Structure 1
Amino acid sequence: MSFEDLPADWPQRSVADPVLAADLVDLVVGDTDRRDGALGLLLCRADGRLAQPVLVSTLGCPDIVHLLDLVLDQLPNLPGIDGLVLAIARPWGGLSDEDRALHQVALEVCRDHGLTLWGTYLATSTGVSPLPIAPELAPHVGGPDTAA
Structure 2
Amino acid sequence: MHFEDLPRDWAQRPVTHPDVFEGVADLIATDRSRSDGATYVLLCHPNGRLLQPVRLPEGTETPDVLRRFLAELTRHEVHDVAVVLARPGAPEPTPRDLERRDVFEAACRDTGVRLHAVAVAGHDDVRTLVPESGCAAA
Instruction: Tell me if TM exceeds 0.5.
Output: yes
* Offset at residue 41 of structure 1 (A): 1.1
* Offset at residue 98 of structure 1 (A): 1.6
User: 5+ residue gaps in structure 1?
Assistant: 141-148
2:102 is equivalent to residue 104 of structure 1? yes
Deviations 1:86-110 (CA, angstroms, capped at 9, x unpaired): 1111110432222111100111111
- Give the match for residue 55 of structure 1: 55
In 2, Cα distance between equivalents of 1:87 and 1:48: 15
2:123 is equivalent to residue 128 of structure 1? no
Q: Percent identity?
A: 33
Question: What value does the CA root-mean-square deviation take over the aligned residues?
Answer: 2.2
In 1, Cα distance between equivalents of 2:77 and 2:4: 28
- For residue 77 of structure 2, give the secondary structure of its aligned residue in structure 1: coil
2:8 is equivalent to residue 2 of structure 1? no
* TM-score, length of structure 2 as denominator length: 0.84
* TM-score, length of structure 1 as denominator length: 0.78
How many pairs are equivalent?
134
Deviations 1:47-97 (CA, angstroms, capped at 9, x unpaired): 111110012354xx5xx641x651453123232311211111111043222
1:28-107 → structure 2 map (5 Å cutoff)? 28-56=28-56, 58=58, 61=59, 65-66=61-62, 69-78=64-73, 79-93=76-90, 94-107=92-105
Kept in 1: contact 2:112–2:136 (CA 8 A):
no
